[in-house]
Structure 1
Amino acid sequence: MEHTTTDHVPSGASRAGPFSWYGPLSKNEKRTFWSCKIGYALDGMDTQMLSFVIPTLIATWGISKGDAGLIGTSTLLASAAGGWIAGILSDRIGRVRTLQLTVLWFAFFTFLCGLAQNYNQLLVARTLMGFGFGGEWTAGAVLIGEVIRSQDRGKAVGMVQAGWALGWGLTALLYAGLFSFLPAEQAWRALFMIGLIPALFVLLIRRLVKESDTFEQARDERLGQSEKPSPWAFFEIFAPRMLSTTLRASLLTTGALGGYYAITTWLPTYLKTERGLSVLGTGGYLAMVIVGSYVGYVSSALLTDAVGRKKNFILFALGSMSIVLAYTQLPIDNTWMLWLGFPLGFFASGIFAGMGAFLTELFPTRMRGSGQGFCYNAGRSIAALFPLLIGALSETLPIGVGIGVFAAGAYAVVILAALSLPETRGRQLAS
């Protein structure tokens, strides 16, 4: 049986402009859109804080780069587990309630990071924070994917995910402000403590955001048939008729995330230590990457509905490959490096804009949360190993070779997985 999302848009609505889809949305759809977008921005804000304070922690506590890297890896692995569990929860207790729980979770443990008195306490608090930030992605992506009608799902979900770049930019501004007015040993704590602010956002979600009609219809059908949800229902994504889709979708996310982590984790080190470029430490370079990321998200959101999910993934994978080759093979100076920050952010981040809509459309409603949560976060957990493998390879080969091999291989996996999966643009959501 098929269910369509509730369509509040008049059939004759103008499709002239790239953002003409937004105006005719219902009040609830607009509230859901902005709540999810703000949620992603706050998620991005809290998550990116660690990258800004690592140099201060190394100087203040005397930890090694390996210790700092362990915090990042443990956060990613915890987020993978949290994302799947949040997906399972969203299928059982609802998308909105799960979204509230995950936002509260990552906000609380980000605040605790600011109270840590030693490395081990920070490692535990940050790992638990990752559990929540992975879950927030899953719950928000499923919710907005179900609320927006099929013609505009890619644009809406992609625009929501662009909130991540806004949160990243907000962290950069907070970092600059706090470290200008406070001693470094106090400023890093204040930055993490500001991470409690998203908890207040939950009050807004509780008042303004309703559960998706698609989820409620599926739940009402189960109740009408006196069907109780099985505690093992989330294993349906591994049933014979779904297993192939689950595995191929997981390969798609593994490639996209693996390429992203390979580029963003080691490229700055390579360019600074082996190419002797100094622009990487400037705010201008970071601003260029963040602006490029936001523009990439928005452009990809528009393209995924215009040309289809598969072509969009392939286009951005090829663009990301080109960026890796440019960084590792071309003779680049600081001026070129500054300008290449824009396409780096554009392609490496933009590839994710279509991911939420695509995964939403691949799974039926009763297993959509667990399917989407597993596929995205299985990819995240495997991709989290890429920085480690590149670091190990750099012991015997130039680090640029490792970046190029792993990133190019990852984006090749994206292309192959996209070609093997069905096109879902415009698909109505199956119950």
Structure 2
Amino acid sequence: MTTAALTASAPADGDTSLTAFYRDMTVPERRTFWACAAGWALDGMDYMIYPLVVGTIIQQMGVDRGSAGLAVTATLLASALGGWLTGYFADRVGRVRMLQITILWFSAFSLICAFVQTFEQLLVARALLGLGFGGEWAAGAVLMGEAIRAQYRGRAVGSVQSGWAVGWGLAVLAQAVLFSLLPPENAWRWMFAIGALPALLVFYLRRYVEEPQVAAETRAAAAAIGDRPKIWEIFGPGVLRTTLLAAMFGTGAQGGYYAVTTWLPTYLQVERKISVVGSTGYLAFLILGSFTGYLAGAWISDRFGRRKLFVGFAVGAVATVLVYTQVPMSAQFIWLLGFPLGFFASGYLSGVGAFFTELFPTRIRGSAQGFCYNAGRGLGALFPTLIGYLSSTLSLGTAIAVFACGAYALLLVGALLLPETRGRILHAA
């Protein structure tokens, strides 16, 4: 296995503006960009539907918070497996093909969630949805990272990541509309039904999106000599340390995000006494901060480096989470603080895709990137359940703060131990 892709650096880019990458894109690159951005937005919409309706499900199905959090954990644990397997098959059969399969998968199971009759059925459906949810990121992030030149990679991949905030916003908008027009026992089912819409994106992918040249060349060379990548190769000599540190880093990145976002709608309703519909404005400002954070993070990662992005945002996230959950404040101040909370608790994720793409050789990039990001997601998946159970003895806000701050500490340590990767050129290897 060669590591040449990890030693070369791109020439300095004179245009450091956020949108420079888009102006310089070819038509195929732009098609890939919009396909991945749409896929990530719709993936985010599908995932965020459950946190938005979990309070209603607790009431309608008579479950406790710990059990409700278990559905999130099951989704994320399954996504860890789905991400690793999808990444592995993306190395063997192609990034675009696996992206299509995963989108169809999670769309179908979101629709199934709309028809469940018991919480146990919902738990199983959400877990199966997680397989595609994790796989979509693994295929899409590698596809985007390989399709973009090194000097633009942070901004381009980070801008795609901002699509998650758009999907979150669409889910909140759907919640506001459906819960205003329908009784709660029907509204939450229609929320899940809307989650089937991403399946339409597959038609665009099949027609317009091409496999990255570097991936196609690597796969063809491996097939020619009968040396296809093995699923355990990411734990081999020369990459084991990077794999383990990246998985720890991913745990912090994912755990912090899910600790905050999974229970935040319920926190606003239960501890801040804000209604489901009334919380829409608070969540909208939070999402605006998140979207801004993604774009700022994308620019920072290319301008100042991946490490500075992760360290700065981890510190900012700890500070805002502690203030948001622990300091008594007026409703207006809660609304205002939502912007920096969304900014810091989300923005660092815009650098993760490019960072992981640059850490590993092309031969095992899909498998390694899928494993590290989604292993982190699987371990971070424990946080929503533990927060739910801990909130029976502590306040929900305190439980959120404990696990979020612990996760951001892991993110910080991982960022300091892993190398800076800004500007690395990817080669067929």
Please confirm whether the aligned pair reaches a TM-score higher than 0.5, indicating the same fold: yes
- What is residue 114 of structure 2 aligned with on the other side? 114
**What SS does structure 1 have at the residue aligned with 2:73?**
helix
For residues 25 and 108 of structure 1, the distance between their equivalents in structure 2, rounded to whole angstroms, comes to 33
Letter in 2 for 1:229: R
Aligned pairs (5 A) from 1:110-259: 110-224=110-224, 226-229=225-228, 233-259=230-256
Kept in 1, the 8 Å contact 2:155–2:301? The answer is yes
Kept in 1, the 8 Å contact 2:155–2:298? The answer is yes
Letter in 2 for 1:316: F
Q: Deviations over 1:202-242 (max 9, x none)?
A: 01100000001110111222244x22415xx1211111211
1:295 to 292, 297, 309: 292
The runs of 5 or more residues in structure 2 that have no matched partner are none
Letter in 2 for 1:317: A
Letter in 2 for 1:207: R
- What is residue 320 of structure 1 aligned with on the other side? 317
- What is residue 387 of structure 1 aligned with on the other side? 384
Which stretch shows the higher mean deviation, 257-266 or 30-39? 257-266
Letter in 1 for 2:329: I
Change (3 A) 1:325 1:195: closer
Aligned pairs (5 A) from 1:66-145: 66-145=66-145
Letter in 2 for 1:185: E
2:339 counterpart of 1:353: no
Change (3 A) 1:96 1:318: same
How many pairs were matched up?
422
Q: Deviations over 1:308-359 (max 9, x none)?
A: 0111100110110111222244342211111000011111111100000000
TM superposition score normalised by structure 1: 0.91
Which stretch shows the higher mean deviation, 318-327 or 64-73? 64-73
Q: CA RMSD in A?
A: 2.4
Higher relative contact order (CA 8 A, sep 6+): 2
- What is residue 332 of structure 1 aligned with on the other side? 329
Q: Percent identity?
A: 53
Letter in 1 for 2:327: L
Q: Deviations over 1:183-210 (max 9, x none)?
A: 3333322222222221111011000000
1:422 to 404, 410, 419: 419
2:339 to 325, 333, 342: 342
TM superposition score normalised by structure 2: 0.92
Q: Report deviation, 1:181.
A: 2.9
Change (3 A) 1:48 1:333: same
For residues 185 and 312 of structure 1, the distance between their equivalents in structure 2, rounded to whole angstroms, comes to 43
For residues 30 and 242 of structure 2, the distance between their equivalents in structure 1, rounded to whole angstroms, comes to 31
- What is residue 65 of structure 1 aligned with on the other side? 65
The runs of 5 or more residues in structure 1 that have no matched partner are none
Letter in 1 for 2:119: Y
Kept in 2, the 8 Å contact 1:3–1:214? The answer is no
**What SS does structure 2 have at the residue aligned with 1:21?**
helix
